[in-house]
Amino acid sequence: MYGWTGSFLRVNLTTKTWKKEAFSEEFAHKWVGGRGFASKILFDEVRPGTDPLGPENKLIVALGPIAGIPAPNTGKCVVAAKSPLTGFYGDGNLGTRVSEHLRKAGYDAMIVEGKADRPTIVYIEDDKVEFLPAGELWGQGTYATNDWISSKYGAGAGFLNIGQGGENLNRYAVIRSLEGRAGGRPGMGAVMGSKLLKAIVVRGTHPIPQVDPAAMKALGTGDLKKVHKIDQETGWSKQSTTGVLQFCNEVAGLPVRNFRKTQHPESWRVDGERLNEARIATYGCPNCTMRCGITIHDTEGRESELDYENIGLLGTNLEIFDLPQVGCLNYLCDEYGLDTMSAGCVLGFYADAIDHGAVGGDFKFGDAERAKQLLRMAAHREGIVGNLLADGSLRMARAFGNNSEAYAMQVKGLEVAAYNCKFIPGQALAYGVSPIGAHHREAWIITFEIKHTTRESYGPEKAAKVIELQRIRGGMFEFLVACRFPWIELGWSLDNYPKYFNTITGLNWTLDDMWRTADRIYGMIKLNYLREFPGTTRQADFPPAVWFDPSNADTQGPIAGKVLELDKYDGMLQHYYDQRGYDARGIPTKATLSSLGLDAEAAEAQKYATLT
Ligand code: PTT
Ligand code: SF4
């Protein structure tokens, strides 16, 4: 078998044992890698009802056939587990040298089980695995931990680590790696913390098995140069992801004041142009020639990397329009290892709930100093407020009552991304049907909606576009494991990806094979969800109620007087279900599952819930 090492590394923290496990060619071809491996392993090995923060949950670090190979933007890695935030399958994708080192050590994925008896670092070097005491690193933030790892194992080692957020089981704690790299929004850092696992460090020295390494090297390195050239010509990385901020403001899609408003006259103060002017350095993932990580000095003179989501949710959403202040909030999230997006939504919701009298408190929109204190409290679970904030918006809303769930900006427990869908129906659908809860990773259809179709439409073309993008973004890029930005941002052709896959594996896949695999993995994640929530209804696929509330309509601007319409959204959702072969609850039918080769998984899921 070429393209895969053919082995998983299984590490048990309770018994301090590990083993190398072979997987079959059939398994590799069916699940391919990354999200495919992770969703199947969790379905097979983590029983429904398992406490996500208990030792029976498993953390999966999964790579795919093109991960770590020198080719456009392959320095990525999927981290997955049952989510402490949403209660079902959750994952994230972050830039890290683990992608190359774990594969060179001989593994396509790593499964971490059990719980250590003291804070631990797992060190992997080819066929050797060590369980080392984390000692005084426990309690330290991710910057100090990164420095310690780099000085002990060398800056070139692959590593993943957590900060105080993960240690204290904040439900939206992320895993961190290189400068500015963070991933696993649905609490993957808390799963590491629950296992007393401070860090994973990997060094691998073997070649990654490929059918024709010389051909791949020529193709991959040549393409890295071409991608770099396109980036230079287009100037994309001058503003990177933040180039979208002014567009969102113009089209009334910016999150402002817990998504109550969609535009703000001061938003230009934190836009991509201002960020580029304030830039002090640029960072990126391994194997990347269009590096997107722009850093600035925060209010304390520290270096902080800002992306659009971070500015949108910690800045405009909180009505903080000062870049160094936003940089400071972002730095704290990185230091504590908290997801900036959930953190921004949680703070926005808290300010809004106070504003609406749902709960007492002293936090107001625009108050950056108090926001910094609240982030510290959430990361350390300090006091009643810190504990509430650490549990995420949905649990907070349930604790506050007073109908506050209507404006807790989340779907299935995961907080929404920085695109305000008060009147962007297709993107609202993308959040609603994202398999892990609201995330823009799966589908981002705003330009299509606004520039190429009618914004008002709730028609089948929007459902079709969401599915097309899910297959590419939530599918192919998450199972081959590579960054999607060359394609989205620079127009790098999708046809390149089967080409890389085939050159590495010797197979002859087309894009259609990729889409079929993507659909299978979506089916797998849905079955994971159904087993945990057997009584689910289609209401679970609706975005926050506030977007349907006419009293929340903008009073001026491009969408004045407009909000989403409930009946029409429901109709668009039905188009999505029909096109996907899902039943009225949003669950794949038996026939759909069978056509995807998921009969055995369907039979297992039937023990817990009804399939139609
Ligand atoms: C991703 C999510 C994003 S998506 C952002 S900004 W973005 C936030 N970044 C955070 C951060 O920084 N610090 C922090 N403490 N928390 C953060 N949470 C948020 O995490 C990321 C890039 C970006 S920047 C995006 S869109 C693309 N995402 C990809 C993806 O999901 N899959 C893929 N195959 N390629 C992608 N390429 C791009 O990667 P999650 P990263 Mg992240 C400071 O993990 O859970 O998926 O959430 O990985 O290495 O930082 O790169 O405007
Ligand atoms: Fe990483 Fe950005 Fe490069 Fe993608 S474009 S690989 S996120 S640095």
- Model confidence over 477-534: pLDDT tens digits? 999 999 999 999 999 999 999 999 999 999 999 999 999 999 999 999 999 999 999 9
Beta carbons of 251 and 450 less than 8 angstroms apart = yes
Residue 398 has a pLDDT of 98
Residue 453 has a pLDDT of 78
483 lines ligand 1 (CB under 6 A): yes
Q: Residue 179 — pLDDT band, cuts 50, 70, 90?
A: confident
CA of 489, nearest ligand number:
2
Q: C-alpha angle 27/112/165, rounded to 5°?
A: 130
- From 93, 179, 240, 291, the mutation candidate for ligand 2 (largest count of ligand atoms within 8 A of CB) is 291
477 lines ligand 1 (CB under 6 A): yes
Number of the ligand 2 atom closest to the C-alpha atom of 289: 3
Number of the ligand 1 atom closest to the C-alpha atom of 340: 16
Ligand 2: centre distance to CA 397 (Å): 35
- From 307, 328, 329, 416, the mutation candidate for ligand 1 (largest count of ligand atoms within 8 A of CB) is 307
Residue 180 has a pLDDT of 80
Backbone angles phi, psi at 337, to 5 degrees: 75, 50
482 lines ligand 2 (CB under 6 A): no
Residue 177 has a pLDDT of 95
Contacts of 79 (CB under 8 A, 6+ apart): 59, 60, 61, 62, 91, 92, 93, 94, 160, 175, 183, 184, 188
Average pLDDT over residues 347-358: 98
Sign of torsion over alpha carbons 503, 506, 508, 513: negative
Average pLDDT over residues 221-225: 98
Question: Does the pTM exceed 0.75?
Answer: yes
The tokens describing 316, both together, are 């405009």
292 lines ligand 2 (CB under 6 A): yes
Q: How far apart (Å, rounded) are the C-alpha atoms in residues 64 and 80?
A: 14
Give 439-447 contacts, CB < 8 A, sequence gap 24+: 439/185, 439/414, 440/309, 441/93, 441/473, 441/474, 441/478, 442/469, 442/470, 442/473, 442/474, 443/469, 443/470, 443/473, 443/474, 444/419, 444/469, 444/473, 444/488, 445/469, 446/248, 446/251, 446/253, 446/419
Number of the ligand 2 atom closest to the C-alpha atom of 76: 6
Contacts of 335 (CB under 8 A, 6+ apart): 141, 142, 143, 163
| Surface-to-core class of residue 265, CB atoms within 10 Å of its CB (0-12 exposed, 13-18 middle, 19+ buried) | exposed
Q: Residue 77 — pLDDT band, cuts 50, 70, 90?
A: very high
The residue nearest atom 28 of ligand 1, judged by CA position, is 441
Ligand 1: centre distance to CA 545 (Å): 26
Residue 300 has a pLDDT of 98
CA of 179, nearest ligand number:
1
165 lines ligand 1 (CB under 6 A): no
CA of 177, nearest ligand number:
1
- From 86, 309, 335, 434, the mutation candidate for ligand 1 (largest count of ligand atoms within 8 A of CB) is 309
Q: Residue 231 — pLDDT band, cuts 50, 70, 90?
A: very high
Number of the ligand 1 atom closest to the C-alpha atom of 306: 43
Q: Residue 103 — pLDDT band, cuts 50, 70, 90?
A: very high
Helices 511-532, 496-505: inter-axial angle, 10-degree rounding: 90
The residue nearest atom 24 of ligand 1, judged by CA position, is 307
Q: Is the pLDDT of residue 377 over 90?
A: yes
Residue 212 backbone class (left: φ over 0; alpha: ψ -120 to 50; beta: rest)? beta
- From 240, 285, 294, 489, the mutation candidate for ligand 2 (largest count of ligand atoms within 8 A of CB) is 285
Residue type, 238: K
310 lines ligand 1 (CB under 6 A): yes
For 32-57, the DSSP string reads -SHHHHHHHHHHHHS-TT--TTSTTS
Residues 562-609 have pLDDT tens digits of 999 999 999 999 999 999 999 999 999 999 999 999 999 999 999 999
Average pLDDT over residues 382-386: 98
SS3 state of residue 283: strand
What percent of the chain is predicted at pLDDT more than 90? 98
Q: Is the pLDDT of residue 452 over 90?
A: no
CA of 72, nearest ligand number:
2
Residue 490 has a pLDDT of 98
285 lines ligand 2 (CB under 6 A): yes
Residue 542 has a pLDDT of 98
Over the chain, what is the mean pLDDT? Answer: 97
Q: Is the pLDDT of residue 235 over 90?
A: yes
The residue nearest atom 2 of ligand 2, judged by CA position, is 292
Q: Are strands 182-183 and 197-203 parallel, antiparallel or unpaired?
A: unpaired
Q: Are strands 197-203 and 120-125 parallel, antiparallel or unpaired?
A: parallel
Average pLDDT over residues 202-206: 97
372 lines ligand 2 (CB under 6 A): no
95 lines ligand 2 (CB under 6 A): yes
284 lines ligand 2 (CB under 6 A): yes
Average pLDDT over residues 262-271: 98
CA of 93, nearest ligand number:
1
The tokens describing 157, both together, are 């080692």
- From 93, 292, 341, 500, the mutation candidate for ligand 1 (largest count of ligand atoms within 8 A of CB) is 93
483 lines ligand 2 (CB under 6 A): yes
Distances (CA, A) of 331 to 54, 240, 304, 593: 29, 19, 5, 44
485 lines ligand 1 (CB under 6 A): yes
CA of 224, nearest ligand number:
2
The tokens describing 304, both together, are 């902080």
Beta carbons of 611 and 598 less than 8 angstroms apart = no
